[in-house]
Amino acid sequence: MIPSIIIEKKRDGKILSDKEIKWFIESHMKNEIDDCQMSALLMAIYIHGMIDDELFSLVDVMVNSGARCDFSHLNSYVADKHSTGGIGDKISLILLPILSSLGFIIPMIAGRGLAFTGGTIDKLNSIYNFKTELSLNEFIKNINKTNCAIISQSKEICPADKKLYAIRDITGTIPSLPLICSSIMSKKIAEGLDGLVLDIKVGNGAFMKKISQAKTLANSLIKIGENFDIQTEVSFTNMDQPLGNYAGLHCEIIETIDFLKGNFQTDLMEVTLELGIKILRMSNFADDYSSAKKIIINNITSGKALKKFTELISSQGGDINHITSNKLNPENEILIKSNKNGYLSAFNTEQIGWSLVEIGCGKKSKNDKLDYSAGIEFVKKIGQKIKKGDIIYRIFGKSREKLIVAQLMLIKSFSIIDIQPKQKPIILN
């Protein structure tokens, strides 16, 4: 086959065959097709999209570019969840120990921060000595031992996705729907899942600003899951304000532990229950909503979920005592206050996300170093009554200069009105 002919075919909006897609990706993995040609094909896909059969072929070749996990010998339901990214979203860290302590196998491959959204792997790297880069053998060994593990993308699993993503990141093709879907689902299929629940964030702090966009994405993800024999369900959740009381890196680990100790924040609990109940019901672990809810809450209040989280941290080299003995004690902090009375009516949540990047919770360039001590505490949430001088945010971190820049961003990121606003539900289904 000739690369330029395949590129021209997609450029002109024609449908690529299964053989053409697989040959092109496999040849690129062998360095027989260079990055320039791959960039051209990705841009053509971005412009014209893909029909279902093309998308399934792309996912299949990405999955088979590396190893596939098989946990059938453990005789337990293998499940995972995926979030499209938000601010303060620590649900993976909460849900994984809940489910695995119930006997589910949870082989989670998580991501780093992307643009203005936080990354689960970056948060875990704030734990002293915690290892997120495990070999495939180490990953499987940990799951055999503890029912769960959480790692960054392995070189051995879906290497084609990693290579394509690096090109997408510098060629303006990140927002392509088929490329987003193939990236998400190829890794989940390679995990050897029986069931998957997807948390698609919607709102001003999400990549999907409108529910219509989110539903289009959901339909494609569900089709892929069904084609590869994975039970796949979707929840749409509100990202018009941050989740929980904190966003950042180590502060979210501490908030996760507090939650698993039974100190529930309402919004975190709603999303946790929404996703957890879906997995318990799709796996036939629970018969109905109320029994599934009771199981999850009892699992937390009994201490089993916290014990499993501690086990997870220890199994990947982390020091749980270092977390609990080093509570937030930032070098610098700035309080951002309201200059008027009223009700907190709205956040510019994406702006909050970019302010987190500014203080070191995300990267502006690949050589930036993260500040694991940095973060934001959300002292007030939408709908609450505000008096002049009340604290809205507390921002903290190593660099006072960066905090001052973030302060200027955050001053403009919330609105106060005279009448108490009607709040949107957290679950948007």
The domain segmentation of the chain, as residue ranges, is 3-48, 72-159+189-323, 332-417
The one-letter amino acid at 413: S
Q: Determine whether 168 is an active site residue.
A: yes
For 285-327, the pLDDT digits (tens) are 999 999 999 999 999 999 999 999 999 999 999 887 877 655 6
Where helices occur in 69-111 by DSSP H, the ranges are 91-100
What backbone torsions phi and psi does residue 81 show, to the nearest 5 degrees?
-130, 155
For 316-355, the pLDDT digits (tens) are 998 878 776 556 677 899 999 999 999 999 999 999 999 9
Give yes or no for a contact between 182 and 174, defined as CB atoms under 8 angstroms apart: no
Task: Classify domain 3-48 at the CATH topology level.
Answer: 1.20.970
Give yes or no for a contact between 352 and 247, defined as CB atoms under 8 angstroms apart: yes
Catalytic residue among 101, 183, 283, 413: 183
Q: If you average pLDDT over residues 202-227, what whole number do you get?
A: 92
Q: Which residue has the higher pLDDT, 259 or 320?
A: 259
Q: Determine whether 308 is an active site residue.
A: no
Give yes or no for a contact between 88 and 206, defined as CB atoms under 8 angstroms apart: no
What is the model's pTM? 0.89
Q: If you average pLDDT over residues 263-283, what whole number do you get?
A: 95
Catalytic residue among 22, 28, 81, 82: 82
For 403-418, the pLDDT digits (tens) are 999 999 999 999 999 9
Q: Determine whether 363 is an active site residue.
A: no
Q: What is the dotted CATH code of the domain comprising 332-417?
A: 3.90.1170.30
Catalytic residue among 28, 168, 188, 278: 168
Q: What is the DSSP string of 123-149?
A: HHTTSTT------HHHHHHHHHHHSEE
Q: If you average pLDDT over residues 137-162, what whole number do you get?
A: 90
Q: Determine whether 281 is an active site residue.
A: no
Helix axis angle for 91-100 and 250-260, nearest 10°, is 40
Q: Determine whether 60 is an active site residue.
A: no
- CB count within 10 Å of CB 269 equals 17
Task: Classify domain 72-159+189-323 at the CATH topology level.
Answer: Pyrimidine Nucleoside Phosphorylase; Chain A, domain 2 (3.40.1030)
Q: If you average pLDDT over residues 225-242, what whole number do you get?
A: 95
